Amino acid sequence: MRNILIVLSGPSGAGKGTIAKKLVQRNPELVLSVSCTTRAPRKGEKHGKEYYFIGKDEFKSLIDNNGLIEYSEHFENYYGTPKSLVEKSLKDKDVILEIDVNGGLNVREHFSDVVLIMIVPPSLEEVKNRLIKRNTESLEKINLRMERISYEMEKSKDYDYTVVNDNLISAVEKIEEIIKLEKNKEN
């Protein structure tokens, strides 16, 4: 069976991070790629776990040295996928990337075995409630993230699958089925 890159994208608050963590817990053969970002850590986030938290100069030098598979800017910060770990892990495992829609479409241009999965919330009201409950951004920042939702949802037409994250375990199981199906496909 071939090893694949599984990209999870979707609006902020849709549940990408929660789903990615569950997938890795339930499937030890999956590796979750840790991105680099210039944004500040949220309460409880640790360097090397949720992200590599780096400065703008270090980020720029990664770009200049071709150290990133892709990168983009969101909400005034940079986010990018480090190349070395992904390439190394793909030799014997499947790798999950939790990145935005433009990042996902860029990755497809560089790797052949990529599955693009859009995670969507059951409703706009529910995603706003989840972001408020998560309590990691001010209301002003939550509203900025809400404004970007329609753009991200619009891009789902270019993705291979869309999964609604209503019940967490059902969403995780759907993604596990997709991975199984894609891994068994002929090249």
Residues that bind ligand 5GP (CB under 6 A): 12, 16, 35, 39, 70-72, 74, 79-81, 98-100, 103
Nearer to ligand 5GP, 27 or 102 (CB): 102
Distance of closest approach, residue 66 Cβ to ligand ADP, in angstroms: 28
* Residue 80 contact, options ligand 5GP, ligand ADP, none, Cβ 5-8 Å cut-off depending on partner type: ligand 5GP
CB of 16 to ligand ADP, least distance (A): 4
Torsion over CA: 48, 39, 129, 171 (sign): negative
74 vs 93, beta carbon nearer ligand 5GP:
74
Q: What part of residues 127-166 is at the interface with ligand ADP (CB under 6 A)?
A: 130, 133-134, 165
Which of 95, 81, 100, 114 has the alpha carbon at shortest distance from 31?
Answer: 95
Which CB, 37 or 165, lies closer to ligand ADP? 165
User: Does 103 help bind ligand ADP (rule: CB under 6 A)?
Assistant: no
Residue whose beta carbon is closest to ligand 5GP? 103
Sheet containing 161-164: give its strands across.
Answer: 30-32, 94-98, 5-9, 114-120, 161-164
* Least distance in angstroms from the C-beta of 101 to ligand ADP: 12
The amino acid sitting at 5 is L
Cβ proximity to ligand ADP, 78 vs 128, nearer residue: 128
DSSP state of 42: P
Q: What is the DSSP letter of 34?
A: P
Q: Find the shortest distance in angstroms from Cβ 88 to ligand 5GP.
A: 17
Please choose, from the candidates 110, 36, 43, the residue with its C-alpha nearest in 3D space to the C-alpha of residue 73.
36
Q: Which long-range CB contacts under 8 A does 105-110 form with residues at least 24 apart?
A: 105/155, 105/158, 106/69, 106/70, 106/72, 107/5, 107/7, 107/69, 107/70, 107/81, 108/7, 110/69, 110/70
Nearer to ligand 5GP, 81 or 165 (CB): 81
CB of 1 to ligand 5GP, least distance (A): 26
